[in-house]
C-alpha cells in the first residue's frame, strides 16, 4: 500500500484502478473517482483549484456527466490519473489535507448514469458464442460465411440503457409457438441475459473519416460491464430479415464505474488467432485483448445467489480496436459518449457460456440453483449479478457489480 488511505493493492478500487463514475450529492450529479471505500468528489476538488496547473480544462469536471471531460482526450485522462495517484501517495497533498471535504462514502453513494449516451452498437464477437448459437439452428454450418471476415454488429437503442440496480420489466411481443401456424402476442417466455463488456468512446471522428486500429484506443475512454437483456422467443421470430429489434431494445444494464484504458494496460494479452487473416484495415500491430475475469450469478427472490458462469474477456475473437475500425471504415462518425458492447462473451466450456440460451442449451438442459429450484431461462423476480475484475502480480482492478432484476410483465 502506497497511499495514506491504506487501500490494499488487491482491492477492486485500488490506486491502480481509479475508475470514473457519477454520484448524487445534494440533489446534483457529481463526477467522482473510486478509491477503496471512498469516492473522490472531483467537482469540489477541481473547483477548489487543485487542478489549476493541469493542461486540460478542469472545469469539465464540474459537469453532471463525464462527456465534456472525456472529450478532452486520452492525454488529459492520463494526466488526471497520474495527479490523483501522486496525491494519494503524498500525506501532505491537498487531497490528503482536505479529505473530509473531498472524500465521500462509496458504499452508501447513489450512483447515476455516468455519461450521456449518444449511440449504442452491439457486436457479436465471441466465436464460442456464435458457434454455440449456430449449432442450435444450423448444426451443419454454425458460423455464417461473413463471421470470420468482419466484426458483426447492429445498432441498438441508447435510450433503454440503464444503471445497475434498475429493474427491467419482462417485455411483451410477438411469439411463434412450436408447430403453430401464426404468431401470438404475450410476455416473453425465454428471458435471457448476455454477459458483455462495453467500451465508451471519446474524441470522435468527423463524418467521412475513419479510425484505424492503431489509433482506436486514443478514441476509447474506458470499459464497463454490460448486460444485454434478450427476449429469445421475440428475437427468434423477428430477426429475419433485418436482425435484432424488440427482443433487445427493452433494456440493457451497465455497471456504475468506467475503468480507463490506462488502468487496463497491465492486463493486456494476445487474443485468439484469427484465421483467415483479416483484411488490412483490421490488422493490429499490438495486442488489444485484456485478461478480464467475468462472473455471473442468478439470485431468485429472497434466496441466495448461484454462480452460473465464469468466463473471460480474453476469449473475444474480434478485439475493441477492430470493432471501432470496422465501425468507422465506411466513414461513420462516432461521438464522445457512444457505447459499443462486445456481444456475449463465452468461453470453450459450458461453465463459461455467457447466456442462459447456451447454459441450458435452448431450454433442453435445466440448471439447478442452490435453493433447489431449476432454470432454463430467467423467471420473474430473478436478479442477475455480473462482476468483472483483473488481477496480476498482487494488483487488482475491479469494475463493480452490474445487477438487474426481472419484474413481471405489465
Which active-site residues does the annotation give? Answer: 129
CA-closest candidate to residue 343, choices 363, 366, 319 = 319
- Give the separation between CA 153 and CA 119, rounded to whole angstroms: 13
> Is residue 152 within 8 Å of residue 127, measured between CB atoms?
no
Cβ within 8 Å of residue 6, ≥6 positions away: 36
Residue carrying C-alpha cell 460491464: 225
> Is residue 285 within 8 Å of residue 214, measured between CB atoms?
yes
- Give the separation between CA 393 and CA 12, rounded to whole angstroms: 14
What is the DSSP annotation of 359-383? Answer: HTTTTTS-EE-TTS-EESSBPTT-E
- Sign of the torsion formed by the C-alpha atoms of 294, 409, 338 and 31: negative
CA-closest candidate to residue 257, choices 63, 21, 26, 17 = 21
Cβ within 8 Å of residue 298, ≥6 positions away: 305, 306, 308, 369, 375, 378, 382, 383, 384, 385
CA-closest candidate to residue 395, choices 39, 14, 34 = 14
CA-closest candidate to residue 115, choices 291, 258, 214, 14 = 258
Q: What is the DSSP letter of 273?
A: P
* Cα angle 117-253-102, degrees, rounded to a multiple of 5: 70
Amino acid at each position: 500500500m502506497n497511499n495514506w488511505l491504506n487501500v490494499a493493492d488487491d482491492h477492486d478500487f485500488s490506486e491502480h484502478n481509479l475508475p470514473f463514475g457519477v454520484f448524487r450529492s445534494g440533489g446534483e450529479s457529481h463526477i467522482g473517482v473510486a478509491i477503496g471505500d471512498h469516492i473522490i468528489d472531483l467537482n469540489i476538488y477541481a473547483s477548489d483549484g487543485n487542478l489549476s496547473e493541469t493542461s486540460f480544462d478542469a472545469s469539465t469536471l464540474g459537469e453532471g456527466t463525464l462527456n465534456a471531460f472525456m472529450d478532452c482526450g486520452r492525454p488529459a485522462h492520463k494526466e488526471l490519473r497520474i495527479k490523483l495517484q501522486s496525491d494519494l501517495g503524498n500525506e501532505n497533498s491537498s487531497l490528503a489535507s482536505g479529505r473530509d471535504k473531498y472524500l465521500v462514502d462509496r458504499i452508501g453513494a447513489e450512483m447515476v448514469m455516468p455519461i450521456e449516451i449518444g449511440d449504442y452498437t452491439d457486436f457479436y464477437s465471441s466465436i464460442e458464442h456464435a458457434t454455440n448459437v449456430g449449432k442450435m439452428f444450423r448444426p451443419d454450418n454454425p458460423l455464417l460465411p461473413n463471421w470470420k471476415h468482419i466484426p458483426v454488429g447492429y445498432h441498438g437503442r441508447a435510450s433503454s440503457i440503464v444503471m445497475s440496480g434498475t429493474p427491467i420489466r419482462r417485455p411483451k411481443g410477438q411469439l411463434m409457438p412450436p408447430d403453430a401456424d401464426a404468431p401470438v402476442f404475450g410476455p416473453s417466455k425465454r428471458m435471457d441475459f448476455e454477459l458483455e463488456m462495453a467500451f465508451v468512446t471519446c474524441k470522435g471522428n468527423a463524418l467521412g473519416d475513419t479510425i484505424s486500429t492503431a489509433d482506436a484506443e486514443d478514441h476509447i475512454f474506458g470499459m464497463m460491464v454490460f448486460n444485454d437483456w434478450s427476449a429469445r422467443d421475440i428475437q427468434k421470430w423477428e430477426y429475419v430479415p433485418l436482425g435484432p429489434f424488440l427482443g433487445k431494445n427493452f433494456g440493457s444494464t451497465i455497471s456504475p464505474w468506467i475503468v480507463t484504458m490506462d488502468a487496463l494496460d497491465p492486463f493486456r494479452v494476445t487474443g485468439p488467432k484469427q484465421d483467415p487473416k483479416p483484411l488490412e484495415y483490421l490488422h493490429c500491430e499490438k495486442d488489444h485483448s485484456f485478461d478480464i475475469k467475468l462472473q455471473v450469478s442468478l439470485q431468485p427472490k429472497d434466496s441466495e445467489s448461484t454462480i452460473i458462469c465464469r468466463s473471460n474477456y480474453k476469449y473475444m475473437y474480434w478485439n475493441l480496436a477492430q470493432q471501432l475500425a470496422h465501425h468507422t471504415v465506411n466513414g461513420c462518425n462516432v461521438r464522445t459518449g457512444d457505447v459499443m458492447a462486445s456481444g456475449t462473451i463465452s468461453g470453450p466450456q459450458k461453465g463459461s457460456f455467457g447466456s442462459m440460451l447456451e447454459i441450458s442449451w435452448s431450454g433442453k438442459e435445466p440448471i439447478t440453483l442452490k435453493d433447489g429450484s431449476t432454470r432454463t431461462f430467467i423467471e420473474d423476480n430473478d436478479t442477475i449479478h455480473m462482476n468483472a475484475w483483473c488481477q496480476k502480480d498482487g494488483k487488482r482492478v475491479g469494475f463493480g457489480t452490474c445487477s438487474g432484476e426481472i419484474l413481471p410483465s405489465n
